[in-house]
Amino acid sequence: MKAYRGQPEIFAARQEKDRYADLEIRDLSLNFGGVKALTNIDLKVRNGELYAVIGPNGAGKTSLMNCITGFYKPKSGRIIFNDRDITRMHAHNLVKIGIGRTFQNIELFPGMTVLANMLLARHLYCRYSFPGAGLYLPSVRREEVRHRRLIEELIDFLEIQAIRNKNVASLPYGLMKRVELGRALALEPRLLVLDEPFAGMTLEEKEDMVRFITEINEVWGQTIVLVEHDMAIVMSISHRIAVLNFGEMIAEGTADEIGRHPEVIRAYLG
């Protein structure tokens, strides 16, 4: 494995208050017609934590992530982010207040290059007007340089220089996952939600992704909520773990506590 080369300059320059993330979910329930997807979920993700959510297929993990990121609206309960009730906020507004994510099924633009996909995330920070962009004023050029510098630093960090100008559709699945992580990081999120970032990867690709995620969390101080099925990875990198089964949270704790929990063993670990 290559040694860590330092986080991008723009991330390193962020003040603690600009990357602070505290998430609390209170008595959250979600129904699809008569089907209960989530029932009375309570959890709290602390600033700087790597918090994992595990469980069998259909346990409600992605439904919970979709509630946190505004794609689903819960039947009841509250989601509090940095002391603000975000339960009914739309997804695009949640991005503005600092919640970024990757998806279980990759949501990149396949006909565009890696560089273009990652630059798209920077639209959130574009402050210039349409006429200003058309005239390419000096202020626009300065802003574009800043956006481009951050993307180039992320490309370097994720070791995808060789594919930066390739169309996403031509890439192996594992590299697509890496590009999607880069696009999420380009949002400069306070809270990063990763929905099965290791799915479909080879062992070598998983090792690289583990390295990136742990460095983002430990060195950058990035708060992360992770959904994943690979228990070896979850147990080795998570600070705390929540276990869902049939839409209910059956356990929460450290890797050691979860590994010994009799209900978790019965429902999931086997």
Chain-centre distance for alpha carbon 205: 18
pLDDT of residue 34: 86
pLDDT of residue 129: 63
Coil, strand or helix: which one is 32?
A: strand
List C-alpha distances in Å: 180 to 3, 27, 63, 183: 22, 31, 20, 5
List C-alpha distances in Å: 43 to 23, 249, 267: 8, 9, 20
Alpha helices in 161-227 (DSSP H): 173-186, 203-218
Instruction: List domains and CATH numbers for the chain.
Output: 21-98+189-270 (3.40.50.300), 113-188 (no CATH)
pLDDT of residue 1: 35
pLDDT of residue 10: 65
Q: How far is residue 79's CA from residue 74's CA, in Å, rounded to a whole number?
A: 9
- Residue holding tokens 């450290």? 254
Give the residues of the chain that fall short of pLDDT 70. 1-7, 10-15, 128-140, 269-270
- Residues with Cβ within 8 Å of residue 193, at least 6 apart in sequence: 65, 68, 69, 99, 100, 101, 102, 224, 225
